[in-house]
Amino acid sequence: PYYVDINQNLFLEAYLHSSDSNLVLFVDTCVASPSPHNFTAVTYDIIRNGCVRDSTYTTYYSPYRHMVRFKISAFQFIRNNPLVYLQCELVVCRAYDYSSRCYQGCITRSKRQASS
C-alpha cells in the first residue's frame, strides 16, 4: 500500500521483466475502486480502452519500451471510503508491430443505432 494525502501526486511505474528487448508495454485500462474485490460496481475510470478519462493523468518519459510511467492525483470516493484501490490492465506487444493494440492508442467504440 501507498499512503498519500488527497490531491497529492501518486507516481506509478510498470516494468516488464523479460529478456526480449523487442517488447512494448501499453496501459489499456486503469480503474479505481473503493473495494479491493470489486472493480465493476462503484468505479472511476482513469484510463479506459487507451483513452485518458482523468484530467490529472500524465505520462512520463521512459528510457525503455517495456516500461511505462505515469502519475495521477490522489482522491477518495466518498467520505466513508478513504481507501482507493487501483487495477490496471497492460498490453504487451512486439515493438514496431503497428497493427498491434499498443500502437492503436485510444479506441472509442461507436454506439449502435436503434433500428426503426
Residue ranges of domains in the chain? 9-96
Q: Domain 9-96 falls in which CATH fold?
A: Immunoglobulin-like (2.60.40)
Find out whether 88 and 27 touch, Cβ atoms under 8 Å: yes
CA 94, 110, 32, 5 dihedral sign is positive
Tell me how far CA of residue 89 lies from CA of 43, 45, 81, 116, in angstroms.
Answer: 15, 12, 23, 38
pLDDT digits (tens, 9 = 90+) for 59-115: 999 998 899 999 999 887 666 777 888 999 999 999 999 999 999 999 987 655 555
> What integer pLDDT is reported at residue 39 of this predicted model?
84
Closest CA to 21 of 96, 110, 113: 96
pTM of the model: 0.82
